[in-house]
Structure 1
Amino acid sequence: MPETRKPSAALRRALVVADPLHTFATYKDTTFAMMRELARRGVALAACEPAHLQWRSGEPVTAWVREVELTGARDDWFRVRHQGREALSAFDAVLMRKDPPFDAEYFYATHLLQQAEREGARVFNRPAALRDHPEKLAVMEFAAWAPPTLVTRSAEAIRAFHAEHRDIILKPLDGMGGRGIFRVGPDGMNLGAVVETLTANGHTTIMVQRYLPAIAQGDKRVLIIGGEPVPYCLARIPQGGEVRGNLAAGGRGVAQPLSDADWAIARALGPQLAARGLLLVGLDVIGDRVTEVNVTSPTCFQEITQQTGFDVAARFVDALQAALAADARA
């Protein structure tokens, strides 16, 4: 393991709320990169899953947590030192890193985490901000920077949108990793079947956007930490005729400096989102248009660091410590 440093007074213990640790692909996982940097700084780590959160009347919000230490190995990368139930307010920072989908259980978890905040816990990203910024819908607030977009369950409205823009992308509001994304071109081939499938015959709301040919150069993940853009993004480039650039859908990740358009978007949106309690945001940018605002568990730390040498995890922990210090002064 790398040499550790003494943690700052504001950050001695951190709790990570995430998917099961044994499922992490540590060679690329962003939450692991955060934990590794925290451990390097001497921060004591604990982990739990949303299912482990509990709130009993008259008591603080607790979780069944496992105190872990990192081994430095790729496979058996952590060992459990102790486990038991503990109040979330006992930790200096709580990192909510559960992957989508943003389903009912995720929604309830944000309410438990918000109660923990009332009891003194410091949660990042803030639970209320997570609820207020569904990752697909959040882009609608920033229409000046986004492609033409429609959110609806109406087949008629979708057909009218297609007639206007001719080449469109349709996707579920709760998807991740490129799942359920369809492109329908000018011929309208299979539009009816796609709409019926995604909307469950008009019972489920979806998102429709004008197709952006710049996807051929990549769907760029632009990271904003503490309101400031990371100077490199990861362009996820579709492969083999795919329309999706997502790494989970087979896209190739290429780190590159932010373009002028990337900087403009990040500087316009970053301070607004940070002020709402979003310490870490991942913007999806195609060409000069932002298509999604990712706030639940933005990724790509390791890919950017490995290809450019810019230590994204260190930037994140610096921002976390700064946020905790600012809270302490308030």
Structure 2
Amino acid sequence: MSSLRVAVQMDPLATINVAGDSTFALMLSAQARGHALWYYDVGSLAWQSSTDGGRLTAWAAPVTVQRPQAAGESHFTLGEFANLDLVTDLDVVLMRQDPPFDLGYITGAHLLEKLKGKTLVVNDPEQVRNAPEKVFVLDYPQFMPPTLVARRIEDVRAFQKRMVAEGFGGDLVIKPLHGNGGKAVFRVPASGDNLGALVEVFGQMWKEPYMVQPFLPDVAKGDKRIVLVDGEVAGAINRRPGEGEFRSNLAVGGSAEATGLTEREAEICRVLGPELKARGLVFVGIDVIGGHWLTEINVTSPTGIVAIDRFNGTDTGAMIWAAIEARHQAMVTA
């Protein structure tokens, strides 16, 4: 295995939670495999025309990461920032900044797409752009709970009546179509008392439609995060809501526990796996409620590998890097 030159496009290094951050774990794993790392913010990407078609750079610094051994010890060491040519100076770019999946995110993906065939970008930026979490999942309605994507309150009220008629009850969950981390996810009671106000807020905050689904009581048993690496299951954790919450995301107080896959979940992975691999989506986290209902396919900046490895004794970071190394080798020998 030859050493790779890897740049990580991510949120500020100083702000991450090293105890559970998947990007930090991937960086540690890369170092352990002998790869050299650089760090940059997506806002520093710059493209300019040139005689050979264009040049994409980032204001980046070489970085080493380490787990702090004492209070106050830093988890990273940066070298000097300089313009990094993302073709001539690199082999791999990890696109790991968190959503929101807004025009800035989409533009960054467009710019990174210019590297196709020259520098490997993981996950593939074209496919990340085409597969936002709560939109890509709509391609698999056979695995989803009943779902509405709309903006009109009349459509939501009609959907609520349909859910009652179909035995799901009248409680709904409303969430932004391009949200993340369990933020701005609301439960609407069957009475619909707060529905009008919520629709007003969503209409003022976001131009896009929002997603509406029946509230699934099985969420109390957990919301499972399953990680797939190049289309293959790497492991899973079950996330349970904290006290007084129905959201199970770890970012909003949920707790993780060890788990396996149900037959239904294994079927979902078998169906999704080949498509994820074909799209160049190397690291993906899918969410399944109650062992049955697929709710999201996370491709922008998936998380969960630290908890999975802690419970299962696995090394998901090494699996991801093995897949990246194989893809890079295939690209340079094509």
CA gap of 1:105–1:202, structure 2 versus 1, over 3 A, is closer
Give the 5 Å matches for 1:99-178.
99-117=98-116, 120-165=118-163, 166-178=170-182
Q: Is the 8 A contact 2:18 2:67 kept in 1?
A: no
Q: In terms of mean alpha carbon deviation, does 247-256 or 28-37 score higher? A: 247-256
Give the 5 Å matches for 1:1-330.
8-9=1-2, 11-58=3-50, 59-73=54-68, 75-89=73-87, 90-117=89-116, 120-165=118-163, 166-200=170-204, 203-230=207-234, 232-287=235-290, 288-330=292-334
Partners of 1:80 and 1:328 in 2: CA distance: 29
Partners of 2:10 and 2:226 in 1: CA distance: 22
SS of 1:45's partner is: strand
Q: Is the 8 A contact 1:215 1:286 kept in 2?
A: yes
Partners of 2:66 and 2:25 in 1: CA distance: 14
Post-superposition offset of 1:188: 2.1
Post-superposition offset of 1:190: 1.4
For 2:246, give the aligned amino acid.
V
Post-superposition offset of 1:171: 0.3
Q: Is the 8 A contact 2:149 2:211 kept in 1?
A: yes
Partners of 2:208 and 2:86 in 1: CA distance: 35
How many residues matched? 320
Partners of 1:49 and 1:240 in 2: CA distance: 36
Post-superposition offset of 1:38: 0.5
Partners of 2:145 and 2:203 in 1: CA distance: 21
Show CA shifts across 1:241-271 (max 9, x none): 3110011111111121222222111111111
Partners of 2:108 and 2:36 in 1: CA distance: 23
- 1:4 corresponds in structure 2 to none
Q: Is the 8 A contact 1:60 1:116 kept in 2?
A: no
Q: Is the 8 A contact 2:224 2:238 kept in 1?
A: yes
Show CA shifts across 1:260-294 (max 9, x none): 22211111111112201111111011021110111
Post-superposition offset of 1:314: 1.2
Q: Is the 8 A contact 1:235 1:255 kept in 2?
A: yes
Q: Is the 8 A contact 2:100 2:179 kept in 1?
A: yes
For 1:29, give the aligned amino acid.
D
Q: In terms of mean alpha carbon deviation, does 25-34 or 200-209 score higher? A: 200-209
Q: TM-score, normalised by structure 1?
A: 0.93
Structure 1: where are the runs of 5+ without partners?
1-7
Post-superposition offset of 1:78: 1.4
For 1:107, give the aligned amino acid.
I
Partners of 1:284 and 1:201 in 2: CA distance: 25
Post-superposition offset of 1:57: 2.1
Q: Is the 8 A contact 1:196 1:202 kept in 2?
A: no
Q: TM-score, normalised by structure 2?
A: 0.92
Partners of 1:100 and 1:265 in 2: CA distance: 25
Identity %: 40
SS of 1:313's partner is: helix
Partners of 1:142 and 1:172 in 2: CA distance: 19
Deviation above 3 Å: which 4+ runs of structure 1?
201-204
- 1:5 corresponds in structure 2 to none
- 2:166 corresponds in structure 1 to none
Post-superposition offset of 1:203: 4.9
Q: Is the 8 A contact 1:14 1:91 kept in 2?
A: yes
Partners of 1:216 and 1:279 in 2: CA distance: 30
